[in-house]
Amino acid sequence: MRVFTFLRQAEPETLEISRAAEIFETTLQVLKNRVRLRYKRDLAVSELLSQEDVELIAELSGCPPPTHPALCLQQNQLDKYRSISGICNNRQNPHWGAANIALVRWLPAQYEDRERQPKGWNHRRLYNGFQLPPVLEVSKKIMKSSHKPKDAAYSQLLVEWGQYIDHDITFTPSSPSKTAFMEGADCLSTCENVHPCFPIESHDMMSGSQSCMPFFRSAPACFSTFGPSTGEPLQRQQTNSITSFLDASVVYGHTPKLQSSLRDLSSPDGKLAINKQYKDPKGRPYLPFVTKLPSDCLQDSNDPQGERVECFAAGDTRANEGLTLTSLHTLWLREHNRIGGTLKRLNYHWSAETVYQETRKIVGAMHQIITMRDYVPKIIGPESFEQYIGPYEGYDPTINPSASNVFATAAFRFGHATVTPILRRLNESFQEHEHFRPLRLHNSFFTPWRIVREGGIEPVLRGIIGTAATAVSTDKLMAEEVTEDLVVLNISQKMDLAALNMQRGRDHALPGYNDWRAFCGLKQIKTEDDLGDIIGNRRVAEKILKMYKHPNNIDVWLGGLVESLLPGSRTGPLFSCLIGKQMKVLRDGDRFWWEAQGMFTEQQKAELTKSSLSRIICDNSDITTLPRDPFRLGKYPSDHLSCQHIPPINLEAWREEKSRGEPDRV
């Protein structure tokens, strides 16, 4: 558990399922090894065991049984409100989109042994006649950049929203074991490929020093959670430990236990719990602290009192990764409590549970609207939005809304190339703050104390609204801050995000770049000229093919990232396709999508369309002017509006008739 203990910290329920999955997979491996010793040849698990045998091993390993559709029909409340785990959103396929199920495969996995060995596991293995290049070498020669260009159209908030909303859709936990199962090797120190250790090799270290970077494989999914669309039933699949839906699980959590821990159960207004120790200068609440103390978050070394500011608790455990994420989480905590208080005043007869669920429903709708209306078209471009998503035509129960492996592991990681190396903090005039200087990105990781002691969330929010987004550039892909100085708690080495992403794609056995271009109906790469045309840079195309030797060997994350951007988008053709397809199924396969029949009245829908991130910031912070669309970069003050001119949602649309009369006697 020492590797990625914070960055990849999963809920206890997920850890339990992951351990069961690893027991299941290791059991199958033990059986295969015994057969190999006896018969002197390898056999696939499907040749050794019947379906009944496999189901029994899964049950004995502790994998949870599948949910029967009949259970969904018995839960009347599931007609009105989502389950916290996403279970029974689809009545016939209860696990579709739910937490702790396998990421779906849109193309078959490419394991080296057809079952679980990642691409690059066996060093002698050739792909199209060549070995795959080490990911660290690819990062150093192609990805690293000391300078990143700026995007004149958009603010850094566009980048930060992408990370925030990614945390609402996918979370793939790493293996819960810290040592190799059968060999006992420590994954922090071994350079051998022994499950679950898949270290990133390095050829440029000095002789005698460590020649690899630690890497844990993603936790496998349990056999019993596989659906028909996840691939071969006995292939290793990876887990999405949170709900796939755009449902604000990032605010509320994805398990009943986590949900309860985040609520103020004594509140008649159905409010979320707030921090008992600290408030901002205007008395606004901060997120509560985590219950397990002392937490792993870093502390202010210059604080004379030495008072600890612990990690904040939110619906997603990654809320403390950076100050911008923490600030967005804080906004939505305040927004829930603001709406809940108003709904209770309008409907005094509502129970705390009704207020909570109705507020959660509104906040979920806001997440969907801001993401699909204001964010996605800017990322994939208006033409791709029309081609892959199109207008809403209602809920379709035949669509599986589960997050796909390629989306989670490659396509939606396009944003890693737009990470800014400097976090600016701005004052009320959107100028450099007099007291809070700009921060190198690695000095903002896991530092919630900076929110409490350095002016609250406002300087951070103004910084990302008032700073141009980092642009994607084919020859300047990744900031050195994340290829040289990535901080992962409890690992003494600095990590390389580009190398981690490519290694993760190989760990998940994702097919190569050309396979995915074919999947999207795009022209496949055959020559250096083809690649040069697609990325618009001959020199980079030459470097890539010099390393990979064959176009079919190119890692999908790298290939998608270097493509020339489509007009009006921030992604190339491949990632626009994959992100567009994912967003469409998240919308059309969600029974509780805000536009679905019966979710809201026409009057309520009309009010919800007024939702904007600008208004959320106005209502829950000290910021009084900002652009109408804060994802677009505007100059201060000429392109800013006063909050008085940014329309709010009128919650009167949620008033029930009963509240218009006298209160009932209790």
Active site (catalytic) residues = 167
Question: Do the beta carbons of residue 188 and residue 214 sit within 8 Å?
Answer: yes
663-to-268, 269, 354, 658 alpha-carbon distances in Å: 16, 17, 17, 8
Question: Do the beta carbons of residue 82 and residue 76 sit within 8 Å?
Answer: no
For 178, half-sphere exposure in the C-beta direction (CA atoms, 13 angstrom radius) is 10
Angstrom distance (rounded) from CA 74 to CA 83: 13
Angstrom distance (rounded) from CA 247 to CA 360: 9
Going 516 to 517 to 521 to 524, the CA torsion angle's sign is negative
Angstrom distance (rounded) from CA 456 to CA 275: 13
Q: What is the CA radius of gyration of the chain?
A: 25
Question: Do the beta carbons of residue 353 and residue 548 sit within 8 Å?
Answer: no
Whether omega before 294 lies within 30 degrees of 0, making that bond cis, reads yes
What 3-state class would DSSP assign to 197?
Answer: strand
Tokens at residue 102, please?
């396998």
- DSSP codes of every residue in 307-372: ----PBP-SSGGGGSSHHHHHHHHHHHHHHHHHHHHHHHH-TTS-HHHHHHHHHHHHHHHHHHIII
Angstrom distance (rounded) from CA 369 to CA 646: 16
What 3-state class would DSSP assign to 74?
Answer: helix
Angstrom distance (rounded) from CA 118 to CA 493: 24
- Identify the CA nearest to 244 among candidates 407, 408, 97: 97
Angstrom distance (rounded) from CA 664 to CA 33: 71
Annotated binding residue at 349?
Answer: no
Q: How many CB atoms lie within 10 A of CB 647?
A: 13
Q: Residue ranges of the alpha helices (H) in 204-320?
A: 249-252, 256-262
- Identify the CA nearest to 473 among candidates 414, 411, 552, 422: 414
Which residue type occupies 300? D
Element (H, E) at 531: helix 528-535
Which residue type occupies 194? V
Angstrom distance (rounded) from CA 588 to CA 603: 22
Tokens at residue 225, please?
């959670």
Tokens at residue 501, please?
């992403």
Angstrom distance (rounded) from CA 400 to CA 97: 7
- Residue 368: what are its φ and ψ, rounded to 5°? -65, -45
Angstrom distance (rounded) from CA 289 to CA 340: 21
Which residue type occupies 444? S
- Residue 160: what are its φ and ψ, rounded to 5°? -70, -35
Annotated binding site: 416
Annotated binding site for heme b: 416
